[in-house]
């Protein structure tokens, strides 16, 4: 099909760049949550954490997720990825990371309302999710085990 032509490498580079931005945000936000939970709801420090989390979502996480998907779908079509087993594994984990992003956005809203449903330990454990997913995705794309 080769519809991207000479732009293929630029699209691939943009995809990787925005994956890096997305992953950075996905690693940062649960750490923010750990520190945020230590503050008293309604306190000046609580308001600062709400602002930080809102900015991280609005400026880095949300735009990065959209652009990762946009460039990723362009690459998928370009190489006919749907026919490869490794791609199905990657897609499964990308969908999982997208759901994790949604969970992060929802948890930030809970903290902003003064709710603290998870413990610091649980948040620290959830912080491992993007790293594990990234490892599986990189192996699937680079090694192409099937």
In a 3-state reduction of DSSP, which class is residue 57?
A: helix
129, 131, 136, 139 alpha-carbon torsion, rounded to 10°? 180
Q: What would the pLDDT profile of 44-72 be if each residue is shown by its tens digit? A: 999 999 999 999 999 999 999 999 999 99
Q: Do residues 144 and 84 lie in contact, with contact meaning Cβ atoms separated by under 8 Å?
A: yes
Distances (CA, A) of 97 to 64, 102, 113: 12, 9, 24
Q: Do residues 51 and 58 lie in contact, with contact meaning Cβ atoms separated by under 8 Å?
A: no
Is 90 annotated in a binding site? The answer is yes
- Picking from 89, 91, 66, 81, the residue whose alpha carbon sits closest to that of residue 15 is 66
Q: What is the pTM of this model?
A: 0.94
Residue that has been written with the tokens 């519809």 in this structure: 3
Is 15 annotated in a binding site? The answer is yes
- Picking from 137, 70, 75, the residue whose alpha carbon sits closest to that of residue 100 is 137
Which regions of the chain are under pLDDT 70? 1
Give the pLDDT of residue 2. Answer: 80
Measured CA to CA, the distance from residue 105 to residue 61 in angstroms comes to: 9
């Amino acid at each position: 099909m080769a519809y991207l032509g000479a732009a293929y490498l630029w699209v691939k580079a943009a995809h990787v760049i925005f994956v890096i931005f997305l992953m950075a945000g996905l690693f940062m936000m649960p750490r923010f949550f750990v520190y945020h939970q230590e503050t008293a709801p309604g306190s000046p420090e609580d308001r600062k954490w709400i602002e930080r989390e809102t900015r991280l979502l609005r400026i880095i996480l949300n735009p990065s997720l959209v652009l990762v998907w946009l460039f990723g779908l362009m690459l998928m079509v370009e190489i006919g990825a749907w026919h490869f087993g490794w791609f199905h594994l990657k897609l499964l984990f990308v969908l999982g990371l997208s759901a994790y992003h949604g969970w992060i956005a929802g948890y930030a809203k809970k903290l902003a309302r003064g709710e603290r449903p998870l413990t610091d330990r649980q948040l620290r454990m959830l912080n491992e999710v993007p790293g594990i997913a990234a490892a599986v995705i990189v192996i699937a794309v680079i090694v192409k085990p099937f």
